[in-house]
Amino acid sequence: MKILFRVDSSVDIGSGHVMRCLALAARLSSSADITFICRAETGHLGEMITARGFELRMLPATTPFNEQQDASASLQGLDKHYDLLILDHYKLGANYCRVMRSQCRYIMVIDDLANRLHDCDILLDQNLLPDAQSRYTKLVSSKCQFLLGPRFALLREEFYLPAPARQDNRILISFGGSDAQNLTGMAIDALLQLKLFSIRADIVIGASNPWREQIALQLVQQTNIALHVQCDYMANLMHQASLMLGSGGTSHWERCICALPGLVVTVADNQVATTRYLAEQGACVWLGSAEEMSVNYLASQLEKYLTLPDQLEMMSRAANKIVPANAGTQYAVAEIERTIRGMNG
């Protein structure tokens, strides 16, 4: 099977789209020939894609963004037809896909906004929402197959491997690959205010984080705080931590499969509905939006929950119910392959 991914990453977009596509591609690669198409935006992850052994075609960065032009550029140079196009891009919808049908037999869209028309055969939305399916009924054809909810969360292989034990008073901080607002720096300052003893912390940032040097300087003399840049062992860090402070998005499902309690700051509008609903389920605490945060507030919330072990345990159990250990990428791949076989049959 030949599969084409169309996805971008940048300082503004973040790395989440590419990371979840890489997780899916890794699972599909044993039975598929995979190609990625990405634009050369500042902070793109092209080197990571090729390092994983996938073919990559880079398109030049352009503004303003135009679906028809992007489709034409995507088709240029394609020397073969593809069995499946997997599209993960908030700026591309039905118009892009209609053009791509000339080279792609089936199309799968990964989305969570439900704000535009899609021309696709499969739609995957890994978010947990009470109205998950009804959000898309007027945006896709009646024949579209839905893969909805965290049981289809696109998680990397590391989240299915044996893990280290949880450690008391170990904090994990991660606000995604780019963290344009530098919430990481604010969280480090909050850590330094904590009055609790024997705290250890892990700070995870992406290689494209624009505040990387500043963050490193903040940590020069902090022997109990470790900085990890573009690490490939996030699952281990999550299993070791007793509490995580970070953003929404894909990290929700990574936390849940690791049964890790989380204090969540939403950094984009599309993170709000799912974060609110997860908080209502007891699987995390929603602290508010990035604009509402301060060093003192983050410090007070960290200190509060580190002194409430019973509440953290309840949060851990609730999170683990959202994404059980046998769910995620492998389940999504099985459904994708089953759906395509059914269409061919």
Q: Is the pLDDT of residue 318 over 80?
A: yes
Q: Is the Cβ–Cβ distance between 248 and 264 less than 8 Å?
A: yes
Q: Which of 5-9, 133-137, 195-199 has the lowest mean pLDDT?
A: 195-199
pLDDT digits (tens, 9 = 90+) for 240-287: 999 999 999 889 999 999 999 999 999 988 899 999 999 999 999 999
Highest mean pLDDT among 22-36, 59-73, 322-336: 22-36
What number does CATH give the domain 158-322? 3.40.50.2000
Tell me whether domains 2-154+328-344 and 158-322 share a fold: yes
pLDDT at 80: 87
Q: Is the pLDDT of residue 79 over 90?
A: no
d(C-alpha 330, C-alpha 156), whole Å? 10
Mean pLDDT score across all residues of the chain: 93
Q: Is the pLDDT of residue 319 over 90?
A: yes
pLDDT digits (tens, 9 = 90+) for 196-228: 768 999 999 988 788 999 999 999 999 999 999
What number does CATH give the domain 2-154+328-344? 3.40.50.11190
Q: Is the pLDDT of residue 48 over 90?
A: yes
Q: Is the pLDDT of residue 101 over 80?
A: yes
pLDDT at 197: 66
Between residues 78 and 108, which one has the greater pLDDT? 108
Domain boundaries, the chain: 2-154+328-344, 158-322
Q: What is the mean pLDDT of residues 173-195?
A: 91
pLDDT at 277: 94
Q: Is the pLDDT of residue 15 over 90?
A: no
Q: Which of 176-185, 242-251, 307-316 has the lowest mean pLDDT?
A: 176-185
pLDDT digits (tens, 9 = 90+) for 155-167: 999 999 998 999 9
